[in-house]
Amino acid sequence: MTLSLKYTISLAALSLILAACSSQDEKQTDKKVQTMEEIHAEKGKPTHVVLASKMNLADIRKFSGSVEGIQQTHAEAKMSDPIKTIKVGIGSFVQKDQVLAEFFYTGDNTAYQQTEEQVKLLESSTQRLREVYAKGGLSQQNLDEAETQLRIAKLSLETARRKTIVLAPASGVITEVRFKEGEVPSVGATLFTVAKLDQVILKLPITSQDIGLFKKGATATVHLNGEDLKGKVSMVPLAADASTRFFPVEITFNNKGHKLLPGMFITTEVNAKSIDAVAVPNDAIIYKNGLNTVWVVQNGKAVRKIVTPGVSNQNYTQIISGIALSDSVMLDGMSKMNEGDKVLIVD
């Protein structure tokens, strides 16, 4: 075989190989890559679902109010004179009959001084009569009369003196001091409030629309500095306060460590009521344009349902109407769904 013939055969073979390769590349090029829309149309848009189920839901409501000592007593002014000294402050722990304040006595000074002088004179004269009685120069009756006059005078002086001091009406914590040194309160004015803090009450001003939510014994929670403090509804009034038109509901808390202090304005979560209801996760509900909607899967297709929500807690919401028990409710991907889209349920 000549060199020319060999060369011709080689070129022919190479041409055949190139033609075959070219044909294969063209076939691969002709194979079209699917778009995401085409994949979704063929297999469905992916989503996770959960079955609408029946569960017991607690209706948790938030209300705010002021803390008070469960037992509060007041120390009042017995005279209308300048306050000389105040011996305690808010937060001070006091014992019953401890001196809280003293007054200057500027009232009927003449009568007070006369009583003082009378006591001194009676003490002196009674002492002399005792000496005479000891020597037999005085009857028992006369001595008894002198002793009685001295006791009465001392009692009058002590009564006048006690008006100048203010005593704690009970053991507890000072939660209110209404006057300052030098000020002149009127007779009967509250000077101090003393409260026992082992238990406190939270008073909630409740409207007529919400009072029906409260039942005696219902639980309540206050979140304070990372702690959950538990209490119970202890009083649900039958009538509103005449001046405020609110119903003063009371919640009692055991107050170990005195974390809740009178005067605090705090918010509590009240377990108003519990119901058995068809419910879905909160994330399944979409609120838009004044409507609450839930997406469900029916016969492999996406269906948008307008729903009426009811009681809700941190995780679930009651569905009063719009879906049925055991409906397959979408949890994600709803923003990409259109009515009637094919759905791919992901495990």
CATH (domain of 238) = 2.40.30.170
Return the pLDDT at 245: 95
Shared domain for 125 and 151, answered yes or no, is: yes
Q: Which residue range forms the structural domain that includes residue 160?
A: 73-177
Do the Cβ atoms of 119 and 125 come closer than 8 Å?
no
Same domain flag for 285 and 324: yes
Q: Compute the distance between CA of residue 282 and CA of residue 316 in angstroms, rounded to an integer.
A: 5
Q: Per the domain annotation, does 260 fall within a domain?
A: yes
**Are 116 and 94 within one domain?**
yes
Contact 322, 306 (CB under 8 A): yes
Residue 20 pLDDT exceeds 70: no
Are 248 and 281 within one domain? no
pLDDT band at 36 (very low <50, low <70, confident <90, very high): confident
Q: What is the mean pLDDT of residues 283-290?
A: 94
Output the pLDDT for position 3.
Answer: 36
For 76-120, the pLDDT digits (tens) are 998 888 999 999 999 899 999 999 999 887 655 566 677 788 889
Q: pLDDT over 70 for what percent of the chain?
A: 88
Whether residue 158 sits in one domain with residue 114: yes
In a domain, 218, yes or no: yes
Residue 283 inside a domain? The answer is yes
Residue 314's CATH number: 2.40.420.20
pLDDT at 261 over 80: yes
CB 109, CB 123: distance < 8 Å: no
Residue 7 inside a domain? The answer is no
How many domains would you assign to the chain?
A: 3
